[in-house]
Amino acid sequence: GFHFAGDYAFNLGVGFQSIPHNLGKSWFACIDDFTDRATYDLYATVENSKKAIGGGMLIGSLDNGDGTTTWHWSLTQDIPTYLESLTIGDYVLNPDEYFGIQDTIPIDIYSRPQDTANISSSFLNLKQILRIFEDHFGAYPFDRIGYSATSLGAMEHATNISYPYSGFNGSTSSEWWYAHELSHMWFGDMLTCSTAEDMWLNEGWATFCQIFYTEILYSEEDYKLGMRDKLKDVLMKTHIIDNGYYALNDIPQQYTYGSTAYDKGCVVTGALRTYLGDSIFFDGISAYLQNFAYQSVSSYQMRDFLSQHTGIDMTGFFDNWVFTPGTPHYSIDSTSLSANGNNYQLDIWLKQKHKGYDFIGNDNIVQIGYLKNDFTLEFDTVIFSGLNGHSTKTLEFQPVAILIDPEERMMDALLIII
């Protein structure tokens, strides 16, 4: 809704407890859902001592000669009603610019006066994170990159992210937070879930992005640890927090912004990355974003587009991971190793279970690692459908151990606590 906090006023586009969640209607007349999109011209008249910040580009500010100024902002890309914004206060503009893969894009960070000294250190890696997202998801989809300090938030208003005061703390401790909101410019703002029940398409992907960027900016281990923590939360807590197991595309509205959408959505996105492999995954997702740019989309549309674009039938993956509650689990049932001349023939029998729901999926892709004497790994994949699978492999060495998902990339229902 619309909030007044001391000398500041601002809107937040959704209410977690409000049903329906969209709150564009709290401050302007609109068809307030996830599918009705429009461009915006915002005129806001405030005291001369205040600034009024909206979405899009600042067209101008007019001193009315009566102690007030009218600010005009224009957003030319179509967005849903809940993503339009207005923040008012004695803001200080901290300007910068980002040289993107297509354009030079202004960065406007509007802070409280007392927080200006912390901007450069709080947003130290903003441009690097932008580059990571552009390199993997396509060009930044709006005309401006913007954050406005608010007492509540965060909220991914298009080009004018409401970002809480605590994030302006002079360190990178909240970096993940502004990265999460920034990634919404692709996942949520440019492309929006068509219903609240499909909120993982917004929040699950943004949660994945807040972890993914760390792999590029810091290390693969940071990504691995971040995803391990999310998987742990999903397997141990999500069904308790959200009072049950739900399919990702059918989350009850009282849990739209719960752990299923955010945490399980993140885990399933990581599983999809592993299922397709990085090259196909990032190419497919970039194409998906462009194909549905400035539109609303469903999980079924994502499935069908990825199937068509990649040439890989995604029915099995989506049935197992998205359209069914719970989480699949894969394990090695047994193995048999026999000498075959100078080589070894290895037979592996796999089995499948499903945590939280009675379901057995098809077109499963399982990562296998063969451990050598020097403790290096040779990797392989096994594809199987149904309850059990079998694979025969000829190796040039006798494996010390046979491991399933040794890199912890599959995101299935296996918890490793270290």
- Asked if the bond preceding 401 is cis, omega within 30° of 0, the reply is no
Domain of 214: which CATH number? 1.10.390.10
State the average pLDDT over residues 386-412: 95
pLDDT by residue (tens digit) across 358-393? 999 999 999 999 999 999 999 999 999 999 999 999
Kindly report which listed range (1-10, 256-265, 288-297, 407-416) carries the lowest average pLDDT score: 407-416
What's the burial of 390, exposed, middle or buried (CB within 10 Å: 0-12/13-18/19+)? exposed
Reply yes or no on whether the pLDDT at 415 is more than 70: no
CA distances from 128 to 136, 172, 178 (A): 13, 13, 13
- Domain count of the fold of the chain: 3
pLDDT value, residue 416 = 54
pLDDT over threshold 80, residue 417 = no
Give me the pLDDT at residue 414, please.
78
Q: What are phi and psi of 43, to 5 degrees?
A: -115, 120
Tell me the per-residue pLDDT of 70-112, one tens digit each, with 9 for 90 and over.
999 999 999 999 999 999 999 999 999 999 999 999 999 999 9
What CATH number does residue 372 fall under? 2.60.40
Q: Is 355 exposed, middle or buried (0-12, 13-18, 19+ CB in 10 A)?
A: middle
Structure tokens at 134: 């552009």
Taking the C-alpha atoms of residue 404 and residue 296, their distance in angstroms, rounded to an integer, is: 38
Domain boundary among 278, 305, 321: 321
- The pLDDT of residue 262 is above 50: yes
Last-in-domain residue among 140, 161, 182: 161
- Mean of pLDDT values over 321-346: 96
Q: Residue 245: give the domain boundaries.
A: 192-321
Query: In the beta sheet, which residues pair with residue 106?
Result: 97
Q: Tokens at residue 180, please? A: 């999460």
Residue 220 pLDDT class (50, 70, 90 cuts): very high
Q: What is the pTM of this model?
A: 0.96
The pLDDT score that the predictor gives to residue 1 is: 92
Cβ atoms of 146 and 53 closer than 8 Å: yes
Q: How confident is the model at residue 4 (pLDDT cuts 50, 70, 90)?
A: very high
The reply to whether 174 falls in a domain is no
